[in-house]
């Protein structure tokens, strides 16, 4: 296992990448440390003692933990940190995230527009449901740096898994980011992204192109089941990834049903005329 070391991103931001690289997590989950004298931790990562030890040893001024969402590769480290440090955890829980995710002891919930102010920096909370119903992004205002968790990743598209994940919400939350003054994206997985709005436009287009392919494929196959549709819609994707792609396909189908374009009676997917 490679040793984790904090990497300095700018004057007040450091990053520690957890040793949990995988198909889902890319090079591993990024934990960010904001500030020097009053440190906020964004996403302490998975249940890995070694990782939380590196976080703890990186500063004696850790004041709070902020969570983008409560998936197992982002939030369990918060509980581990709390065993050693008397610091509050802030984030959001929803009815569906509570049903599915591990329990986090939130001090209080963060909502859209909330500000975390210190002498060194201001962080603005932006609600971005889609990948998860309780997903938040954090904007470090003066640095114009947006911490996106799993809303936007570098190097791959994120999984939208219903019912907690929702494709229409995801697309709206991507468009929403364009209203903010963002210069760089610091994702939950991968490197810093220097062209945020181009990346967002590409991501929206990519999803909508996939959705068009879903409709075309149903037209071609006629009434069909999900496995048949999966092979057709993701014919350009390595079959080893199809079980993951199936989540996003279900998310597209839910959205198309909401829009009134398809029906999914008796597990048969058909176009609505």
Q: Applying CB under 5 A, which residues contact Zn ion? A: 71, 150
Rounded CA gap, 115 and 210, in Å?
A: 36
Q: Quick one: which of 148, 144, 113, 146 has its CA closest to 130?
A: 148
| Cα angle for residues 226, 230, 236 (degrees, 5° grid) | 170
Cβ closest to Zn ion, residue 150 vs residue 154? 150
Cβ closest to Zn ion, residue 55 vs residue 132? 132
Query: What minimum distance in Å lies between the beta carbon of 223 and Zn ion?
Result: 33
Cβ closest to Zn ion, residue 29 vs residue 217? 29
CA 2 to chain CA centroid, Å, is 24
Alpha helices in the chain (DSSP H): 49-57, 76-84, 95-100, 167-177, 196-221, 226-233, 242-258
Query: What minimum distance in Å lies between the beta carbon of 100 and Zn ion?
Result: 11
CB-closest chain residue to Zn ion: 71
In total, the chain counts a number of residues equal to 273
Cβ closest to Zn ion, residue 124 vs residue 150? 150
Query: What minimum distance in Å lies between the beta carbon of 36 and Zn ion?
Result: 29
DSSP code at position 240: G
Rg, the chain, Cα only: 19
Query: What minimum distance in Å lies between the beta carbon of 95 and Zn ion?
Result: 18
Cβ closest to Zn ion, residue 51 vs residue 71? 71
Please list, in sequence order, all residues whose beta carbon lies within 8 angstroms of the beta carbon of residue 244, skipping any fewer than 6 positions away: 23, 24, 159
Query: What minimum distance in Å lies between the beta carbon of 6 and Zn ion?
Result: 23
Cβ closest to Zn ion, residue 159 vs residue 192? 159
Query: What minimum distance in Å lies between the beta carbon of 150 and Zn ion?
Result: 4
């Amino acid at each position: 296992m490679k040793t984790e070391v904090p990497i300095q991103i700018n004057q007040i931001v450091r990053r520690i990448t957890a040793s949990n690289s995988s198909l889902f997590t890319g090079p591993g989950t990024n934990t960010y440390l904001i500030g020097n004298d009053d440190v906020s931790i964004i996403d302490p990562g998975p249940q890995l003692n070694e990782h939380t030890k590196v976080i703890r040893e990186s500063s004696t001024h850790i004041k709070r933990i902020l969570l983008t969402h409560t998936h197992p590769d982002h939030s369990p480290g918060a509980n581990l940190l709390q065993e050693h440090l008397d610091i509050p955890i802030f984030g959001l829980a929803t009815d569906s995230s509570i049903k599915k995710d591990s329990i986090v002891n939130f001090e209080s919930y963060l909502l859209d527009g909330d500000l975390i102010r210190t002498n060194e920096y201001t962080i603005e909370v932006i609600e971005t449901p889609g990948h998860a119903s309780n997903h938040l992004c954090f904007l470090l205002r003066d640095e114009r740096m947006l911490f996106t968790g799993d809303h936007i990743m570098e190097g791959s598209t994120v999984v939208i898994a219903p019912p907690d994940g929702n494709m229409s919400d995801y697309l709206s939350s991507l468009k929403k980011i364009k209203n903010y003054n963002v210069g760089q994206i610091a994702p939950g997985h991968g490197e810093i992204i220097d062209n945020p709005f181009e990346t967002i436009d590409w991501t929206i287009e990519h999803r909508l192109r996939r959705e068009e392919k879903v409709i075309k494929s149903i037209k071609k196959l006629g009434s069909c089941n999900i496995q048949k549709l999966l092979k057709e819609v993701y014919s350009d994707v390595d079959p080893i990834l199809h079980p993951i792609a199936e989540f996003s396909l279900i998310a597209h189908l839910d959205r198309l049903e909401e829009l009134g374009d398809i029906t999914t009676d008796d597990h048969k997917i058909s176009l609505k005329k």
